[in-house]
Amino acid sequence: MEDILKQIALCVEKGKIAREFPHPAELAGQDGVYELTQRALESGIAPQEILSQGLIAGMNKVGELFQAGDVFLPDVLVSARALSMGMMHLKPYFHSGAVKHKGKVVIGTVQGDLHDIGKHVVSLFFEGGGWNVIDIGVNVTAQKFLEAVAEHQPQAIGLSALLTTTMVNMEPITRMIKTTHPGVMVILGGAPVTQSFADRIGADCYSPDPQGALEFLNKHCS
């Protein structure tokens, strides 16, 4: 049992989606996450174990490598694609309650900013870490964040901004969330954001990379 979970984790890490994909060269012709997850379920391994010890473990490794600068965005994207193949098999178990997310995160790019790739990559890491991500898009007002928090009751919200001119819009959102939902953690990310800025506006976490934000979520919100 342990072997197949390790294989799933390795395939997520290496971006081995399914047998038919030649990438990566060293795993060409072998089963990928798609086949291995199916086989693991057929052999009776609990879906929750497949998720945590296979899929999430693999994505976590990618996160560590990405944080260290040892892998790059294409590696992350292909790993996330591989992970999604495994998730396809687990979907019915999420519906039945046999598999549970660690919690919910509402994520969006703040008002004034249309930039979406950073938010997308962070979402991939959060999902790959076992979190249910509600992406409310770009150019999101404080009011829309508030409505999303009221509707989805997340443990945390993630705010993204690309520009110094839009970063300032993180402050009213953070203030409103902290006033109305003090238990909801506020996580900031984006090129111009710094720890001192996050401290000044009262956010709970700033991370320069997605893995740091995921580690904060796992430690403080689950």
Partner 1 sequence: MTSREVLTAIVKDKRCPERMGLHESFWQDTQREWEKQGLPPAVNILDYFNLDVREIQGSLFRTTSIPVDEQVVDEDEHTVIKVNGWGAKFREWKNRPGVPEHLSFDLVHEDVWKKKYRENLLELDPRRFPDLEKLKESYRAGMASDRFCVYYQLIIFEIMRKAMGDLILLEAMYLSPRWIHDFCDIVTNNIIIHLEYMIREVGKPDGIWLYEDMGYTKAPFVSPALYQEFIFPYHRRVADFIHSYDLPFIMHSCGKIRPLLLHIVEAGVDGLQALEAKAGQHVVEMAEATGNKIAFMGNLDIRAFESNDQKTLEAEIVPKLRAIKEKRIPYVFFSDHSIPKSVNLETYRYALDLHKKYGRY
**Residue position matching structure tokens 């934000």:** 213
Q: Report which of 102, 138, 144, 147 is spatially closest to residue 119, judged by C-alpha positions.
A: 138
The C-alpha atoms of residue 217 and residue 214 are separated, in whole angstroms, by: 5
Which pair of structure tokens corresponds to residue 10?
């390795």
Work out how close the CB of 218 gets to partner 1 at its nearest, in angstroms, rounded to a whole number.
Answer: 21
Tell me if 172 contacts partner 1 by CB under 8 A: no
Contacting residue, 103, 209, 212, 216, with partner 1 by CB under 8 A: 209
Sole window of 15-23, 44-52, 178-186, 211-219 interacting with partner 1 (rule: CB under 8 A): 15-23
Asked if residue 81 binds partner 1 (CB under 8 A), the reply is yes
DSSP code of residue 169: T
DSSP 33-77: HHHHHHHHHHTT--HHHIIIIIIIHHHHHHHHHHHTTSS-HHHHH
Q: Which stretch binds partner 1 (CB under 8 A): 37-45, 65-73, 142-150, 211-219?
A: 65-73
Asked whether position 64 contacts partner 1 by CB under 8 A, the answer is: no
Choose the stretch contacting partner 1; rule: CB under 8 A; options: 14-22, 99-107, 127-135, 171-179: 14-22
**Interaction residues for partner 1, span 178-197 (CB under 8 A):** 191-192
